[in-house]
A and B are shown apart, each in its own frame.
Chain A
């Protein structure tokens, strides 16, 4: 039996001005996958496909062992889904929504609800239309977390939140991961959140997966190296150089395959190494996207 919570194989979807093509995505059970992409990259479309809310034109989708083209309703008993464009019934109170969800899900955890209400500083009797954006996001998250799903799928859960609300949300998600049986997929264009939580990261841009690896691998493989080298030496022939900036004898090269042999390669080219810097996930993300776009 597969140990994958999510498996997308060669999923594709066409619109008049956008194509999702050859999306392959895997999430191991008990881990967190962060899906990063710029606006319009296809994150929400991918998530809707894996939630069975959009039937793709090609490929197959397995979530928690269920074929989402046939068994989406069954799978959704075990999935908690919240998206940035999801709203609750504005004329009803949070308590009404809690009671409604409790009537549906046998695994509903009342004591956890009380804990979350306190942590999120929510008032159950308050009508949804009286909540701020941050409170609505937290209300949605409460309704999703309290049923203790095996898989959490969150589409931009922290978008529009103030820093305090963001940290509260991230803290709850980290608590979820204390349970090794549970998995999370969340999408964002906020790389700090992804870097904080994720085990594995997938970059998506213009409907394609640009790269997908463990977070640690990304952070280890990318480096910015400052060198001094003869200005006539052509650095473009060196493999795994993503970016080169030169000013006279000084050059700054960015690589996505940093290791000791890369340093030796530069030295063999006649370069002397001034410094080696790590890149943040945001810098890696931007570099990956520009690289995949062919430096447009």
Chain B
């Protein structure tokens, strides 16, 4: 593993996406502010904005760092550097995860703060919000894995569409669990076994997706 080259490739992706990152962070603050306004309509508008923002950040990163590198033929430039395909994959995954975790982490922290400090929003919502945000991250890692493995814009877009539809269904499903539902409008966040299990399962899925990505990448014979 060529750590200096991996670091260089990761920093390169950070540099290329710096402006986007700033736009998303600002948008996250605005969406959280709308979400916190004491009105049913703004609550739902804010919720839609936040979910859309999470989805957009992930999708945009995958497209700018993976799909466009193939489409705009900058991949030969990168692969002409002293890097092998495993190092490239490590750098791509790490760059994406770090970029998304940074922006998502910031937006998620703002949302949690808003919920915690807002008298209109019950703190009991925090576990539900955390599980949903984690699920959005799972969807993002799935889209990233598909983009890296299949190298296809079409397949990636289809995966995105399926994930976007699934997230709403997931939220309904999550809300149907009595151990989640009964604490949703409470004053204190309850981290019970159900909530922890969801988060653990999501973490395991993320790890598995990354391992599957490395497996399929290691079997490739053509790197352009």
Main secondary structure of the interface of B (DSSP, over half): loop
Q: Which of A86, A92, A103 touches B80 (beta carbons < 8 Å)?
A: A86
Q: Which A residues, 68 to 125, have Cβ-Cβ distances below 8 Å to chain B?
A: 72-77, 79-83, 85-92, 100, 103-104
**Is B16's CB within 8 Å of the partner chain A?**
yes
Query: What per-residue 1/0 map shows which CB atoms of B198-224 lie under 8 Å from chain A?
Result: 000000000000000000000001111
Partner-contacting stretch, out of A48-56, A186-194, A266-274, A278-286: A48-56
**Is B119's CB within 8 Å of the partner chain A?**
no
* A54-B222 CB under 8 A given contacts A74-B82, A77-B82, A92-B16: yes
Task: State whether B73 touches A54 (Cβ < 8 A).
Answer: no
Task: State whether A89 touches B74 (Cβ < 8 A).
Answer: yes
Task: State whether B73 touches A85 (Cβ < 8 A).
Answer: yes
**Is B79's CB within 8 Å of the partner chain A?**
yes
Q: A73-B87, A76-B82, A88-B77 are in contact. List 16 more A-B contacts (CB 8 A).
A: A51-B79, A53-B222, A55-B221, A73-B2, A73-B83, A75-B82, A76-B80, A77-B82, A79-B80, A86-B77, A87-B73, A87-B74, A90-B72, A92-B16, A103-B8, A104-B8
Task: State whether A89 touches B80 (Cβ < 8 A).
Answer: no
Minimum distance in angstroms from A104 CB to a CB of chain B: 6
Q: Taking beta carbons and an 8 Å cutoff, which residues of A are in contact with B?
A: 48, 51-55, 72-77, 79-83, 85-92, 100, 103-104, 140
Task: State whether B87 touches A87 (Cβ < 8 A).
Answer: no
Most A-side CB within 10 Å, residue of B80, B82, B87, B223: B80
Q: Which of B12, B72, B73 touches A100 (beta carbons < 8 Å)?
A: B12
Q: Which of B82, B221, B224 touches A73 (beta carbons < 8 Å)?
A: B82
Task: State whether A54 touches B223 (Cβ < 8 A).
Answer: yes
Task: State whether A76 touches B83 (Cβ < 8 A).
Answer: yes
Q: Inter-chain contact count A-B, CB under 8 Å?
A: 64
For A45, give the chain B residue with the smallest CB separation.
B222
CB neighbours of B80 from chain A (8 A): 51, 76, 79-82, 86
**Is B42's CB within 8 Å of the partner chain A?**
no
Minimum distance in angstroms from B42 CB to a CB of chain A: 36
For A103, give the chain B residue with the smallest CB separation.
B8
Minimum distance in angstroms from B120 CB to a CB of chain A: 42
- Bound CA span A140–B77, Å: 9
**Is B81's CB within 8 Å of the partner chain A?**
yes
CB neighbours of A89 from chain B (8 A): 16, 74
12 CB-based A-B contacts, threshold 8 Å: A53-B76, A53-B222, A53-B224, A76-B80, A79-B80, A81-B76, A85-B76, A86-B73, A86-B76, A87-B76, A91-B16, A104-B81
Task: State whether B222 touches A55 (Cβ < 8 A).
Answer: yes
Minimum distance in angstroms from B96 CB to a CB of chain A: 17
Q: Which of A54, A76, A77, A92 touches B221 (beta carbons < 8 Å)?
A: A54
**Is B27's CB within 8 Å of the partner chain A?**
no
- Bound CA span A74–B82, Å: 6
- Bound CA span A23–B72, Å: 30
